[in-house]
Amino acid sequence: MSIVYLGIGSNLRDRRKNCLRAIDLLEQEGLRIRKRSSMHETNPWGFTDQPLFINMALEAETGLSPLALLKVLKKVERDMGRRASVKWGPRLIDLDILLFDNLILDEGDLIIPHPLMHQREFVLRPLSEIAGDKIHPVLGKKISALLQDIS
C-alpha cells in the first residue's frame, strides 16, 4: 500500500459539505483515510475575483497506481458535479495529488509532487498540520519549513 497526500478545495455552494462529501466518495472508491487536516478558509490564488475557498489535506492509503488514483479523483470531481471552467477559477470541488510515497513523477497530465504546492500557503498550511515532518522529495525540505518559507 502507498501513502498519499491529497489536497481538497471548494468555493461554491456549501464548501464544507463539499469537502466532506468528497472524503466520503474517496473512501467509497477504496482509499483508507488515515489523517485529515482541519478546514481552512483561504483566499483564491491565481484568479482572485471569486469566493473564498475551504481547503484541507488528507493522508490516505491506496493500492492504486498514481495514474489510477488520478482517474479516481477526476471521477469523484465529475460525480460531485464539477464542470470545466476558467483556470484556477471557482469550483465545486478540486482534488489534487500532492505527494505519493516519495515518488517523483512527470507523466504530462500528472506531476508528483504537485508542482506548485511549495508556492501555495493554502496547500502547505493544512498539509503541514498532518505531515509537517514529511520531506518534499524534490526540494528536500520538511513541509513545515516550506510553509515557513512563504508565510
Catalogue the active-site residues. Answer: 82, 91, 94, 96
CA dist 113 and 88 (Å) reads 19
Q: How far apart are CA 131 and CA 27, in angstroms?
A: 20
Which residue type occupies 4? V
Report which of 92, 100, 81 is spatially closest to residue 31, judged by C-alpha positions.
100
